[in-house]
A and B are shown apart, each in its own frame.
Chain A
Amino acid sequence: MTLAVVTPYTVPVDLMDALQVTILILVAAGATAVVLIRERVRQVLTLSVYGVLLAVLFLAFQAPDVTLSELTVGAVALPIILLLTLAKIRKREE
C-alpha cells in the first residue's frame, strides 16, 4: 500500500528506501559489534550506541512511538542498569 498523504516533510520514496537499507546495515553491524566486543564496560557503551541506531531504524520505518521507547530504554535505562551491576560486581571482586 502506498502512502497517499503528501506533506512538505514527505521524503521521496527512493531516498526513503536508501535510508532504510543503510540503517538496516548499520544496525546489523552494530549488533555484531556488541556481540564481538568482550570487554564488559566497552560492550555496554556499544550497546547504548546500538540502542540509538535501533531508534533511528524505527524512525525510518515510521514508528516514532517505538523510537522514543527504544531511545529511553535501549540507549539510556538498560546501559545504566548494566553499568551499575558491573560496578557492584567489580567491587566484590576487589
Chain B
Amino acid sequence: MTPTQRRWIFLAAAVGLAAFYLWGLSGLPGFGNYPGPYGFIINRIAVGQTNATGVVSTINFDYRGFDTVGEEFILFAAAAGVATVLRRLRGERERSATDEAADRDLPTTSSAVRMVALLFTGPVVVMGWWLASHAQTNPSGGFQGGVVLATAFVLIYLSGEFLVFKRFSPVALTEVVEAVGAGGFAAIGVSAVAMGLPYLKNFLPLGTVPGAVSSSGTIALISFFVGLEVAAAFILIIGELLDQTLLIRQGAN
C-alpha cells in the first residue's frame, strides 16, 4: 500500500468518525440533566434509613456494598499480582540496601526534604485515620483514608532511608493487614447471612443521632476495614517497587 492510498483511507475514516461523533454529541442530554428517580429517592431516605450523613458512603458501603466488595478484591488481586510479578526471579540477585563500596559516599537526603517529610508524617497518619473513620459523616471513606495512610509510609522512606521504611512495613505484616482488611469486609457480609439477613445487610444498631461518628451501623466498620486493606495494598505495591529499584539486580548470586 502506498502512502497516498493510506492517507486516503485515513481521511475517509476520520471524516466518518467525526460525523458519527458530532451526531452522537448532538443527541446528548443537557448539562446536569438527571432523568432517573433513584438519586432523588436515595437523597430523601438515606439519612433516615441509616443515620449516616455521608450519603456517598452509605451507597458505597451499604446500598451498593456488594459492588464495593468486588472493587475491594480487584485491589487485593492487583497487589497480589504485583507481589508475584515482582518477586526475585532466577538470574536476579538481591544486594544489600547499603552501598557495598566502602570508600564511596552515599548521596544523602537533603535536610529540607527530611524536615518536610518528618513534619508531615504525623499529620498525614492522623488525616488518613480521620478520613477512614469518618466515612459515615463526611465526604471521605476507607479508600481515600487508606491511600493517605500509605503515603505516610512513603514520607518515612523519604525522610529516613529504605531500611527504616522496611522496618515500619515488613512485607509479612503488610500482607496480613491487607488480608484482614479484605476478609473483614467480606466477613461482615457473611455475618449478616449467618443472622438470616441478606448479604451485607446493615445489621448493627444504627445509633440515634444522624451524623454522629458512632451512628450508621456497619458502614463505619466496613470503611475501617477498607482503610486497612487499601493502605496495606498500596504500601505493599510501593514496597515491592522500591525493592525492585533499590535491591534487585540482574545476574546470579
- Residues in A whose Cβ lies below 8 Å from that of B56: 65
Task: Decide if B143 touches A1 in the complex (CB within 8 Å).
Answer: no
Q: Does B208 contact A (CB under 8 A)?
A: no
Task: Decide if A68 touches B241 in the complex (CB within 8 Å).
Answer: no
Task: Decide if B151 touches A88 in the complex (CB within 8 Å).
Answer: no
- Residues in A whose Cβ lies below 8 Å from that of B242: 84
Q: Which A67-82 residues sit within 8 Å CB-CB of chain B? A: 67-69, 71-73, 76-77, 80-81
Q: Considering only CB atoms and an 8 Å cut-off, how many residues of chain B contact the other chain?
A: 23
Total contacts A to B, CB within 8 angstroms? 49
Min distance, Cβ A57 to any Cβ of chain B, angstroms: 14
Q: Considering only CB atoms and an 8 Å cut-off, how many residues of chain A contact the other chain?
A: 19
- Residues in A whose Cβ lies below 8 Å from that of B244: 84, 88
Min distance, Cβ A88 to any Cβ of chain B, angstroms: 5
Q: Which B199-239 residues sit within 8 Å CB-CB of chain A? A: 234, 237-238
Task: Decide if A64 touches B241 in the complex (CB within 8 Å).
Answer: no
Point out which of B237, B241, B244 has the most chain A C-beta atoms below 10 A from its C-beta.
B241
Q: Does A38 contact B (CB under 8 A)?
A: no
- Residues in B whose Cβ lies below 8 Å from that of A76: 147, 151
Contact of B144 among A1, A65, A81, A88 (CB under 8 A): A65
Q: Does B156 contact A (CB under 8 A)?
A: no
Q: Does B182 contact A (CB under 8 A)?
A: no
Q: Does B32 contact A (CB under 8 A)?
A: yes
Q: Does B140 contact A (CB under 8 A)?
A: yes
Task: Decide if A65 touches B141 in the complex (CB within 8 Å).
Answer: yes
Q: Which A37-75 residues sit within 8 Å CB-CB of chain B? A: 64-65, 67-69, 71-73
**Residue ID in chain A nearest B140 by CB atoms:** A68
Q: What CA separation (Å) do A91 and B148 show in the bound complex?
A: 29
Task: Decide if B34 touches A91 in the complex (CB within 8 Å).
Answer: no
Task: Decide if A81 touches B32 in the complex (CB within 8 Å).
Answer: no
**Residue ID in chain A nearest B143 by CB atoms:** A69
- Residues in A whose Cβ lies below 8 Å from that of B143: 69
**Residue ID in chain B nearest A85 by CB atoms:** B241
Task: Decide if A72 touches B238 in the complex (CB within 8 Å).
Answer: no
- Residues in A whose Cβ lies below 8 Å from that of B34: 1
